[in-house]
Amino acid sequence: MGAAQWVRPRPVPAAADGDPGGAGTMALVEGERVRLLDDLALGGASVGASVGASVGADGPPAGFLLLGAGVEGTVVRVTGELPPPEEVREYERLRALFEDYGHTMPAESLRRLEAQLAELEPSWRAYGELGPRSSVRVRFDNGFVLDDADAALFAAA
């Protein structure tokens, strides 16, 4: 199985009725019909590769798969919340360091820490606006199965 090329999900617009769930996000549930919001490119599989083998380990590349936006399927499993991106985790770690020990740091170290926080803050804010993400397994009508996919890639069909 090849590695998925990341496609940044589009934010789902808020409902006209003032959706209390945040920025219009919805929680997917098992058995729900969904459709893919964006094209999803998958590649890197090789001929003869067995499940669990590293990408490209057994032979020449088998090709490239593109699942087009609008393809429909059924949620087979909701596997739980995805961890935040590395930039968000780093921001939270540095922010805790700043709040706990900033007052004791030398001036130059404190300036460096503040610069790092300022650089990472946009990623942290964007993550906060989207809220926690969950991972799903979807069986498409064409038979393909996409596992550990970000639920933000899908909308109710």
Taking residues 69-87, report their average pLDDT.
88
Single-letter code of the amino acid located at 135:
S
Convert the pLDDT of each residue in 27-55 to its tens digit: 788 899 999 999 988 877 677 655 555 55
Taking residues 3-12, report their average pLDDT.
38
Helix orientation angle between 107-130 and 86-101, rounded to the nearest 10 degrees: 130
Fold of 22-82+133-157: SH3 type barrels. (2.30.30)
Residues facing 149 on adjacent strands: 136
Query: For residue 4, is pLDDT > 80?
Result: no
Domain spans of the chain? 22-82+133-157, 87-131
Give the pLDDT confidence score for residue 1 in this predicted structure: 38
Convert the pLDDT of each residue in 86-95 to its tens digit: 999 999 999 9
pTM of this structure: 0.54
d(CA 91, CA 118): 9
How does residue 114 score in pLDDT terms, banded at 50, 70 and 90? very high
